[in-house]
Homo-oligomer: A and B are copies of this chain.
Amino acid sequence: MKTLRADALRSRERIVRAAEAAFRRHGVDASLEAIAKDAGVGSATLHRHFRSRRELVEAVFQDSTGAVAAEASRLAAEHPPGPALFHWLQAVLDHTLANRGLATTLVPAADEHHGGFCGHDALEAAVAPLLVAAKGAGQVRADVTVGEVLSLVNAISLLADHDPGADPERLLGLAITGFGPRQCEQH
Protein backbone atom coordinates (compact mmCIF):
# COMPACT_ATOMS: atom_id res chain seq x y z
CA MET A 1 0.00 0.00 0.00
CA LYS A 2 2.58 2.57 -1.03
CA THR A 3 1.46 6.07 -1.84
CA LEU A 4 1.23 6.65 -5.58
CA ARG A 5 3.12 9.19 -7.59
CA ALA A 6 0.92 12.03 -8.82
CA ASP A 7 0.68 10.90 -12.43
CA ALA A 8 0.00 7.29 -11.45
CA LEU A 9 -2.77 8.41 -9.13
CA ARG A 10 -4.29 10.46 -11.93
CA SER A 11 -4.25 7.43 -14.20
CA ARG A 12 -5.87 5.31 -11.55
CA GLU A 13 -8.70 7.74 -11.01
CA ARG A 14 -9.39 8.14 -14.70
CA ILE A 15 -9.59 4.36 -15.04
CA VAL A 16 -12.04 4.07 -12.16
CA ARG A 17 -14.22 6.83 -13.59
CA ALA A 18 -14.23 5.25 -17.05
CA ALA A 19 -14.99 1.84 -15.56
CA GLU A 20 -17.88 3.27 -13.59
CA ALA A 21 -19.50 4.52 -16.78
CA ALA A 22 -18.78 1.30 -18.67
CA PHE A 23 -20.19 -0.88 -15.89
CA ARG A 24 -23.33 1.20 -15.83
CA ARG A 25 -23.82 0.61 -19.55
CA HIS A 26 -22.63 -2.95 -20.02
CA GLY A 27 -22.48 -4.52 -16.56
CA VAL A 28 -19.28 -5.61 -14.87
CA ASP A 29 -18.30 -7.71 -17.91
CA ALA A 30 -17.55 -4.58 -19.89
CA SER A 31 -14.41 -4.68 -22.01
CA LEU A 32 -11.33 -3.73 -20.02
CA GLU A 33 -9.60 -2.66 -23.21
CA ALA A 34 -12.44 -0.24 -23.99
CA ILE A 35 -12.28 1.11 -20.44
CA ALA A 36 -8.55 1.77 -20.79
CA LYS A 37 -9.16 3.54 -24.08
CA ASP A 38 -11.94 5.68 -22.57
CA ALA A 39 -9.61 6.57 -19.71
CA GLY A 40 -6.90 7.52 -22.18
CA VAL A 41 -4.38 5.00 -20.85
CA GLY A 42 -2.82 1.87 -22.28
CA SER A 43 -4.33 -1.46 -21.31
CA ALA A 44 -1.09 -2.42 -19.62
CA THR A 45 -1.52 0.52 -17.28
CA LEU A 46 -4.98 -0.68 -16.32
CA HIS A 47 -3.62 -4.14 -15.58
CA ARG A 48 -0.87 -2.87 -13.32
CA HIS A 49 -3.31 -0.84 -11.26
CA PHE A 50 -5.89 -3.62 -11.11
CA ARG A 51 -4.50 -7.11 -11.30
CA SER A 52 -7.93 -8.64 -11.81
CA ARG A 53 -11.33 -7.54 -13.03
CA ARG A 54 -12.61 -8.02 -9.53
CA GLU A 55 -10.15 -5.51 -8.10
CA LEU A 56 -11.45 -2.90 -10.53
CA VAL A 57 -15.05 -3.74 -9.69
CA GLU A 58 -14.33 -3.41 -5.98
CA ALA A 59 -12.71 -0.03 -6.54
CA VAL A 60 -15.63 1.25 -8.58
CA PHE A 61 -18.24 0.19 -6.03
CA GLN A 62 -16.21 0.95 -2.93
CA ASP A 63 -18.14 4.11 -2.09
CA SER A 64 -21.64 2.84 -2.78
CA THR A 65 -21.07 -0.46 -1.02
CA GLY A 66 -19.57 1.38 1.91
CA ALA A 67 -22.67 3.56 2.06
CA VAL A 68 -24.91 0.51 2.26
CA ALA A 69 -22.75 -0.91 5.03
CA ALA A 70 -22.98 2.38 6.92
CA GLU A 71 -26.74 2.31 6.71
CA ALA A 72 -26.78 -0.65 9.08
CA SER A 73 -26.19 1.42 12.17
CA ARG A 74 -28.81 3.96 11.11
CA LEU A 75 -31.42 1.19 10.74
CA ALA A 76 -30.39 -0.32 14.06
CA ALA A 77 -31.09 2.99 15.73
CA GLU A 78 -34.49 3.53 14.12
CA HIS A 79 -36.04 0.06 14.15
CA PRO A 80 -36.45 -2.94 16.45
CA PRO A 81 -33.81 -5.64 15.89
CA GLY A 82 -35.80 -7.90 13.55
CA PRO A 83 -37.06 -5.23 11.14
CA ALA A 84 -33.66 -3.49 11.23
CA LEU A 85 -31.99 -6.64 9.93
CA PHE A 86 -34.61 -7.37 7.30
CA HIS A 87 -34.73 -3.81 6.02
CA TRP A 88 -30.98 -3.78 5.73
CA LEU A 89 -30.95 -7.03 3.78
CA GLN A 90 -33.46 -5.41 1.44
CA ALA A 91 -31.09 -2.47 1.05
CA VAL A 92 -28.23 -4.79 0.16
CA LEU A 93 -30.46 -6.52 -2.37
CA ASP A 94 -31.51 -3.21 -3.91
CA HIS A 95 -27.90 -2.15 -4.20
CA THR A 96 -26.81 -5.28 -6.05
CA LEU A 97 -29.89 -5.30 -8.26
CA ALA A 98 -29.17 -1.73 -9.29
CA ASN A 99 -25.73 -2.74 -10.56
CA ARG A 100 -25.83 -5.77 -12.80
CA GLY A 101 -23.12 -8.30 -12.00
CA LEU A 102 -22.04 -6.60 -8.80
CA ALA A 103 -23.24 -9.63 -6.86
CA THR A 104 -20.55 -11.78 -8.47
CA THR A 105 -17.94 -9.82 -6.54
CA LEU A 106 -19.78 -9.71 -3.20
CA VAL A 107 -18.56 -13.18 -2.45
CA PRO A 108 -15.62 -14.11 -0.22
CA ALA A 109 -12.39 -13.33 -2.06
CA ALA A 110 -10.82 -16.48 -3.48
CA ASP A 111 -7.59 -14.63 -4.14
CA GLU A 112 -5.94 -14.30 -0.76
CA HIS A 113 -3.83 -11.17 -0.63
CA HIS A 114 -5.77 -9.03 -3.06
CA GLY A 115 -5.27 -5.90 -0.99
CA GLY A 116 -7.57 -2.89 -0.93
CA PHE A 117 -11.29 -2.69 -0.30
CA CYS A 118 -13.37 -5.87 -0.18
CA GLY A 119 -17.11 -5.28 -0.43
CA HIS A 120 -17.96 -8.65 1.02
CA ASP A 121 -15.93 -8.05 4.15
CA ALA A 122 -17.47 -4.62 4.61
CA LEU A 123 -20.98 -6.05 4.44
CA GLU A 124 -20.11 -8.90 6.80
CA ALA A 125 -18.82 -6.44 9.37
CA ALA A 126 -21.93 -4.31 8.97
CA VAL A 127 -24.44 -7.11 9.39
CA ALA A 128 -22.81 -8.72 12.41
CA PRO A 129 -24.31 -6.44 15.09
CA LEU A 130 -27.70 -6.47 13.37
CA LEU A 131 -27.71 -10.26 13.43
CA VAL A 132 -26.66 -10.47 17.06
CA ALA A 133 -29.43 -8.08 18.06
CA ALA A 134 -32.04 -9.93 16.01
CA LYS A 135 -31.04 -13.22 17.60
CA GLY A 136 -31.24 -11.63 21.03
CA ALA A 137 -34.79 -10.54 20.27
CA GLY A 138 -35.70 -14.07 19.17
CA GLN A 139 -36.30 -12.87 15.60
CA VAL A 140 -33.63 -15.04 14.00
CA ARG A 141 -32.55 -18.63 14.61
CA ALA A 142 -29.46 -18.77 16.80
CA ASP A 143 -27.53 -21.09 14.50
CA VAL A 144 -27.48 -18.77 11.47
CA THR A 145 -24.17 -17.07 10.59
CA VAL A 146 -23.50 -13.71 8.98
CA GLY A 147 -22.00 -15.51 5.99
CA GLU A 148 -25.15 -17.53 5.45
CA VAL A 149 -27.42 -14.54 5.60
CA LEU A 150 -25.34 -12.63 3.08
CA SER A 151 -25.03 -15.71 0.90
CA LEU A 152 -28.79 -16.00 0.60
CA VAL A 153 -29.16 -12.36 -0.40
CA ASN A 154 -26.33 -12.77 -2.86
CA ALA A 155 -27.81 -15.94 -4.31
CA ILE A 156 -31.03 -14.09 -5.05
CA SER A 157 -29.13 -11.24 -6.71
CA LEU A 158 -27.25 -13.67 -8.91
CA LEU A 159 -30.50 -15.31 -9.95
CA ALA A 160 -32.07 -11.96 -10.77
CA ASP A 161 -29.11 -11.20 -13.03
CA HIS A 162 -29.84 -14.37 -15.00
CA ASP A 163 -33.63 -14.26 -14.90
CA PRO A 164 -35.17 -10.84 -15.50
CA GLY A 165 -38.59 -12.30 -14.74
CA ALA A 166 -37.75 -13.16 -11.14
CA ASP A 167 -39.14 -11.18 -8.21
CA PRO A 168 -36.13 -10.80 -5.91
CA GLU A 169 -37.98 -9.06 -3.09
CA ARG A 170 -40.49 -11.84 -2.97
CA LEU A 171 -37.75 -14.48 -2.96
CA LEU A 172 -35.96 -12.75 -0.12
CA GLY A 173 -39.21 -12.71 1.81
CA LEU A 174 -39.60 -16.42 1.22
CA ALA A 175 -36.06 -17.16 2.33
CA ILE A 176 -36.55 -15.19 5.53
CA THR A 177 -39.86 -16.73 6.55
CA GLY A 178 -39.33 -20.05 4.74
CA PHE A 179 -41.80 -21.70 2.41
CA GLY A 180 -41.73 -25.03 4.20
CA PRO A 181 -43.28 -26.33 7.42
CA ARG A 182 -43.26 -24.22 10.59
CA GLN A 183 -41.63 -25.65 13.67
CA CYS A 184 -43.77 -23.96 16.27
CA GLU A 185 -43.08 -26.34 19.09
CA GLN A 186 -39.55 -25.03 19.43
CA HIS A 187 -38.99 -21.33 19.93
Q: CB within 8 Å of B: which residues of A?
A: 82, 86, 104, 107-108, 110, 138-141, 144, 148-149, 151-152, 154-156, 158-159, 162-167, 170-171, 174-184, 187
Q: A82-B180, A152-B174 are in contact. List 4 more A-B contacts (CB 8 A).
A: A107-B159, A148-B167, A151-B166, A176-B178
A163-B148 Cα distance, complex, nearest whole Å:
12
The 9 closest A-B pairs by CB, nearest first: A178-B178, A155-B159, A176-B180, A184-B184, A155-B155, A158-B158, A107-B163, A144-B179, A177-B178
How far, in Å, is A118 (CB) from chain B's closest CB?
Answer: 13
Is A174's CB under 8 angstroms from B148's CB? yes
Of chain B, the residue at the smallest CB distance from A104 is B162
Is B180's CB under 8 angstroms from A183's CB? no
Contact of A159 among B110, B138, B151, B183 (CB under 8 A): B151
Given contacts A151-B166, A152-B171, contact A181 B110 (CB under 8 A): no
A166-B179 Cα distance, complex, nearest whole Å:
21
Of chain B, the residue at the smallest CB distance from A161 is B158
A151-B182 Cα distance, complex, nearest whole Å:
21
- Which of A82, A162, A183 has the most C-beta atoms of chain B within 10 angstroms of its own C-beta? A162
Is A174's CB under 8 angstroms from B108's CB? no
A175-B187 Cα distance, complex, nearest whole Å:
18
